[in-house]
Amino acid sequence: MTDVIALVGIAEWLRAGLLIACGFVIGKLASRFFRGVTEKKLSTHHRLLGSMLIFYILFLIFFLSGLKQLGFSMSVLLGAAGVLSVAVGFASQTSASNLISGLFLIAEKPFEIGDVLKLNEFTGEVISIDLISIKLRTFDNVMIRVPNETLIKTTFTNLSRFPLRRVDLVIGIAYNEDVERARQVLLNAVNQHQRALEHPEPFCIVTQFNASSVDLQLSVWVLRAELKDAKSELLIAAKEALDNAEIEIPYPHTSLYVGKHTQPLPIAMVNENGQRS
């Protein structure tokens, strides 16, 4: 190593180091300038990927120039890079698949940074979109890394794609209650709620006859940002409205029927000592 340094010369090493340092600084400045210029024109992840690409291209140019100052032949380096790329290609087929999948995701743009995705049993906010994978932060503050190939092959739900969301509340009323009156009571309650939107308008329909109740579905449109608070507040408003109208929300119960061809059920009163009275 000492012989190489003496052969090349201190000046060449200094010029090479200066070129590499300049490439790093210029790459950082250029990528930062790109993010500032495209702040209102491109999405967050497109600006991030573009700035990374600019940085690595500029840094690679200056790095190769620095190696040239030290006497390295570019043709030898390119040949070695070709052989290395073939070896890396065979060893990283999964990474290549994720890379291609990432390009498809960038072109299709099904989600952006800040969107909330539901993927299998996980639900979280997108905090990073890279060429190989994306990263989600769940609501209990856990990071999940999802390969891009998985997103291409799996069905996922973007919960933040549209500005409006519908809240569906299932409410049961007793069988002896007037269904139409209960519908009007519920609709009046949500129409007066501040988070419920007028358009699209709320609706209330009968969904099924349950074992202990007639089930109604009360559907209300709200702003996406207010979804969590709106669902809780609308449930409270519906409960208060039914209570004020004296409409029963029944508890689950089971009825026993003894027909005339069956023996009566044996019933006995037992005191605290376990003796029949």
Please choose, from the candidates 230, 235, 244, 238, the residue with its C-alpha nearest in 3D space to the C-alpha of residue 187.
Answer: 238
* 93 has a pLDDT exceeding 80: no
Whether residue 120 contacts residue 154, with contact meaning beta carbons closer than 8 Å, is answered with yes
Report pLDDT for 53: 83
Measure the CA–CA gap between 56 and 30, rounded to whole angstroms: 11
Residue pair 151/105 in contact (Cβ under 8 Å)? The answer is yes
pLDDT at 277: 61
Q: Which residue has the higher pLDDT, 270 or 7?
A: 270
If you average pLDDT over residues 159-173, what whole number do you get? 92
Question: What does CATH list as the number for 2-91?
Answer: 1.10.287
What pLDDT score does 230 carry?
Answer: 92
Question: Range(s) for CATH 2.30.30.60 in the chain?
Answer: 110-158
Per-residue pLDDT at 1 exceeds 60? no
The pLDDT of residue 254: 67
Nearest to 125 by CA among 104, 144, 152: 144
Tell me, what's the pLDDT at 108? 84
Element (H, E) at 170: strand 164-173
Token pair listed for 148: 């891009």
How far apart, in Å, are the Cα atoms of 156 and each of 118, 123, 145? 6, 10, 15
| pTM of this prediction exceeds 0.85 | no
Task: Please give the residue that has the higher pLDDT: either 207 or 81.
Answer: 207
pLDDT tens track for 220-268: 999 988 988 999 999 999 999 999 999 999 887 666 666 665 566 666 7
Q: What average pLDDT score do residues 79-101 get? A: 64
Location of each CATH 1.10.287 domain in the chain? 2-91
Decide yes or no: CATH 4.10.80.400 for domain 164-244. no
pLDDT at 189 over 60: yes
DSSP labels, 70-90 = TT--HHHHHHHHHHHHHHHHH
Q: Which residues contact residue 250 at a Cβ distance below 8 angstroms, ignoring those fewer than 6 apart?
A: 172, 173, 174, 175, 212, 213
Decide yes or no: CATH 1.10.10.10 for domain 110-158: no
pLDDT of residue 257: 62
Q: Looking up tokens 């739900």, which residue turns up? A: 157
pLDDT of res. 45: 65
The predicted pLDDT at position 234 comes to 94
Taking only the tens place, the pLDDT of each residue in 4-53 is: 545 456 777 787 788 888 888 888 888 888 888 887 777 776 777 778 88
Query: What amino acid is encoded at 56 in this protein?
Result: Y
User: Residues of CATH 3.30.70.100 domain(s) within the chain?
Assistant: 164-244
Instruction: Give Cβ neighbours of residue 11 (< 8 Å, ≥ 6 apart).
Output: none
Average pLDDT taken over every residue of the chain:
82
What is the rounded average pLDDT of the residues 85-111? 72
Q: Which helix (H) or strand (E) holds 180?
A: helix 179-191
3 state SS of 236: helix
